[in-house]
């Protein structure tokens, strides 16, 4: 099948298409009309979605596109089920674009898998196998699974996942290109890997549960970011912690009123079994802290409150470290990924009070009440060391779109992998 040729023009479309049209078609392809030589990434994405609606598979860039313009097109074009080929411009860094594409497609395809295909163990296994394939001599992995989690003290992951017949797991992956087993860990990445979220006994509506296969988007995002950084030449020791479980209802599932005692001694009353992401991330953040990592980044599809605050075009960012947060947002701006800061103060730790434990895992009101995303981040901050310095939390509001938008295809987006990779390498 021949390629569909797409080119850029700074001339207006012909009168037949309408003088204000941003897109026209020619034999064998299409032309995107930009007013000048600026990037105009959103306009490119909007035109891309119109081309994508035609069902064309093989795309070839023709003429003078820069790398970011091609990337904007591809991120908007390649939705769930895309099986075509992309041919990059000859005047661009084809290797870098191909590397980005491989990481994006891995991330998206992992999130888009059905929950039946992707159990907690298979999520951890697929993530570890992909990273190891990129640098086998520098990667070691360990998995703590099922009842072993209790013995190791990882009570959050165990409690959330014990209602499923498919066991929960904590994956620890060590990428150490230094050759020194005592080398400092520069970064630790922590990902929420809830392969399906029914809400537990705080059960979701059918509509709210429909796309909960995407609730492992944090695990996919940090894995995709690490893989991208490795392919781009990462030289720093980095650890990856994936907190994987299915949140299901059974006679063995955790319940409202239960109290979890974490490894650091913090006690947590369960007031909402649908606020499970923060419970598994707490274990991952403690493991990351124990690794001695200089910096920790966690990513999770954590709260609906973040979506309400920033919409589905941005990820929300939280940190108690102003310098690290500013650096992270600078990386996001550099790679054109939309992230936005939301408030986090130390007093957010105390916004989910419990009369029976140090804290509850949420507020016992619909949606967790006002400031829910900040309160969730405050909960997480109890489980990182150094008073939160060197830690950034990403609430992945922009991780997934069921039906697509005017700029994004259906399914997973992988927004965040380039920003995190830039932090790892920078």
Which residues have a catalytic role annotated?
Answer: 204, 278
Rounded CA-CA distance 171/120 in Å is: 10
Coil/strand/helix, residue 104: helix
Number of Cα atoms under 13 Å in the Cβ half of residue 242: 36
In DSSP terms, 46 is beta-bridged to: none
Strand order in the sheet with 139-145: 139-145, 169-175, 238-247, 187-197, 295-300, 391-395, 315-318, 339-341
The pair of structure tokens assigned to 90 is 């000859």
369 DSSP assignment: S
The pair of structure tokens assigned to 273 is 């079994």
Q: Is 152 exposed, middle or buried (0-12, 13-18, 19+ CB in 10 A)?
A: middle
- Residue 200 near residue 248, CB atoms below 8 Å: yes
Report DSSP letters for 294-340, one per residue. SEEEEEE---HHHHHHHTTS-EEEE-S-HHHHHHHHHHHHHTT--EE
Rounded CA-CA distance 376/45 in Å is: 32
The pair of structure tokens assigned to 100 is 């980005």
- Residue 371 near residue 347, CB atoms below 8 Å: no
26 DSSP assignment: E
Identify the CA nearest to 121 among candidates 195, 180, 200, 51: 195
In DSSP terms, 316 is beta-bridged to: 340, 395
């Amino acid at each position: 099948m021949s390629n569909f040729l797409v080119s850029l023009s700074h001339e207006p479309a012909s009168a037949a298409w309408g003088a204000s049209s941003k897109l026209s078609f020619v034999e064998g392809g299409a032309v995107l009309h930009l007013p000048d030589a600026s990037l105009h990434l959103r306009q490119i994405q909007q035109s891309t979605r119109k081309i994508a609606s035609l069902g064309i598979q093989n795309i070839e860039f023709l003429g003078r596109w820069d790398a970011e313009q091609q990337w904007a097109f591809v991120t908007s074009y390649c939705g769930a089920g895309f099986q075509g080929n992309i041919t990059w411009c000859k005047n661009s860094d084809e290797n870098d674009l191909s590397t980005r594409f491989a990481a994006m497609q891995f991330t998206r395809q992992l999130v888009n898998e059905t929950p039946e295909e992707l159990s907690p163990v298979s999520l951890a296994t697929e993530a570890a196998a992909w990273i190891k394939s990129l640098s086998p001599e520098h990667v070691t992995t360990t998995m703590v699974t099922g009842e072993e989690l209790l013995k190791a003290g990882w009570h959050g992951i165990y409690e959330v996942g014990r209602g499923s017949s498919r066991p929960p797991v904590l994956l620890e992956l060590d990428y150490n290109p230094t050759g020194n087993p005592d080398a400092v860990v520069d970064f630790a990445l922590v990902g929420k890997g809830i392969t399906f979220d029914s809400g537990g006994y705080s059960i979701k509506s059918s509509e709210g549960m429909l796309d909960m296969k995407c609730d492992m988007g944090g695990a996919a995002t940090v894995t995709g970011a690490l893989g991208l950084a490795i392919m781009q030449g990462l030289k720093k020791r980095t650890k990856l912690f994936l907190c994987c479980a299915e949140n299901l209802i059974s006679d063995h599932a955790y319940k409202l009123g239960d109290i979890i005692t974490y490894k650091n001694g913090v006690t947590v009353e369960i007031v909402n079994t649908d606020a499970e992401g923060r419970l598994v991330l707490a274990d991952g953040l403690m493991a990351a802290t124990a690794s001695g990592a200089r910096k920790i980044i966690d990513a999770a599809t954590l709260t609906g409150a973040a979506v309400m605050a920033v919409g589905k075009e941005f990820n929300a960012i939280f940190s108690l470290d102003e310098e690290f947060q500013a650096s992270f947002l600078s990386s996001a701006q550099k790679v054109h990924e939309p992230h936005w800061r939301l408030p986090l103060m130390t007093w957010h730790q105390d916004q989910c009070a419990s009369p029976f434990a140090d804290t509850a895992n949420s507020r016992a009101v619909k949606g967790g009440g006002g400031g829910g995303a900040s309160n969730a981040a405050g909960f997480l901050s109890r489980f990182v060391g150094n008073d939160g310095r060197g830690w950034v939390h990403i609430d992945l509001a922009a991780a997934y779109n069921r039906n697509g938008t005017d700029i994004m295809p259906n399914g997973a987006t992988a927004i965040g992998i380039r920003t995190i990779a830039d932090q790892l390498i920078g």
